Amino acid sequence: MGNVVVVGAQWGDEGKGKIVDRLTEQADVVVRFHGGANAGHTLVAQGRKLVLHLVPAGVLHPGKVCLIGNGVVIDPAALCAEIDACRALGALDGDGRLLVDGGAHVTLPWHRRLDVLREQRAGAARIGTTGRGIGPTYEDKAGRRGVRVRDLCDPVRLRARIAERLPEANARIEALGGGPLDAEEVIAELLPHAGRIAPLRADGSLFLARAIAAGKSILFEGAQGTLLDVDHGSYPFVTSSSCVAGSAAAGSGVGPGALGTILGVAKAYTTRVGEGPFPTELPGEAGDRLRALGTEYGATTGRPRRCGWQDTCVLRFAARVNGLHGLVLTKLDVLSSFPAIPVAVAHDLDGERVTDLCADAELLSRAKPVYEELPGWRAPLTGIRREADLPREARRYVERIAELSGVPVVAVSVGPDRAETIALGPPFR
């Protein structure tokens, strides 16, 4: 297969976990390269369901190595709970199956508390974070006051780091109306998890360099989506890390030349969680229907997702900033009951028709979708495994998305199980 990067081409929740799980059959190593426990990647294989937040989505495949890269921020309690959930399903069944880069930063109790307090203080101006402490962890990383996995795994260094960092963190908490944290309680919470994570610690960059030199195939797993990227997304309604394909290099410690094929994952329609602009959002009953058909509730928070039609302005933007070689459309089966399916081909921005997305949140909030209507299909798609067996209208829908996005569609998903994927092109066939 060669090396492959999988990224979200919309506002997250596109089904990346399933696609990574499916491609892991051809890979040797799967790497998460950014984000934290705010991600929610749901896997379904042979009747087994697993929701992952930190562990890479290749975990259900025996013999594959899963690496959490240096660009990820790790909540120790969440990671240990996830390891237990994986082992309960028979995954992570051998030593060396899961590695954690020592340079990854740690989400600490004060990060979670700051996240919640800030959202409460913001009121109507809130961003809509998951409350998992991801933003404050990345702030401390950028501010050079972070605690890393290599610190967590050394009790002496951990005590020193907590003593150095906690007074300033408590000052920020108290300024927001919260109660201060106690250093000994923080350390007592962290140490049991640190003892479990320490044997997993690795130099991720060195491990990947040796794997690539040995001819092994690396699958880089992105989280969230392109329009949530801290640089290129609908700022400030974004996450706190870089979600685009270029981040795979920095977040795992390989050179950009090692990234290989770039795949974007997009739903056949569009969803968004949290605040921020969403031009094709369907209000009221129409959006509720799409949400019900797609079971659109966040895997991490359980929050109902905002739902709307496909927006090819978004897909073209994602193709440009990621350098997409292929597109995977998920949840095509959800659209089966609609007699006609609108697709946004442009935006009306203050009376001007534009086809190139402007990610400026203030401008995007004024954009109105310009729709092209495609014929729907009534036949269910769940049992279909070959492109030729798709209804003619469904095939035309997929072809039109490829034409409008400028990116070939290399696979479509017609259900949550790994097997419910129709291969259309490489690397799927």
Active site residues: 13, 41
Cβ atoms within 10 Å of 358's Cβ, excluding its own: 16
Q: Report which of 75, 87, 91, 84 is spatially closest to residue 24, judged by C-alpha positions.
A: 91
Q: At what angle do helices 312-322 and 392-405 cross, to 10 degrees?
A: 50
Phi/psi region, residue 230 (left: phi>0; alpha: psi -120 to 50; beta: rest), is alpha
CA 139 – CA 117 distance, rounded (Å): 15
CA 227 – CA 12 distance, rounded (Å): 8
Identity (one letter) of the amino acid at 187? I
3-class secondary structure per residue, 222-290 = CCCCHHHCCCCCCCCCCCCCCCCCCHHHHCCCCCHHHCCEEEEEEECCEEECCCCCCCCECCHHHHHHH
- Which tokens go with 275? 């605040």
Q: Report which of 311, 130, 116 is spatially closest to residue 238, judged by C-alpha positions.
A: 130
Q: Report which of 429, 82, 27 is spatially closest to residue 221, judged by C-alpha positions.
A: 27
CA 335 – CA 376 distance, rounded (Å): 8
Q: What is the strand order of the sheet 261-267 is part of?
A: 201-202, 98-101, 65-68, 29-32, 218-221, 4-8, 261-267, 326-330, 409-413, 421-423
CA 54 – CA 193 distance, rounded (Å): 15
CA 356 – CA 362 distance, rounded (Å): 16
Backbone angles phi and psi of 348, in degrees to 5: -95, 110
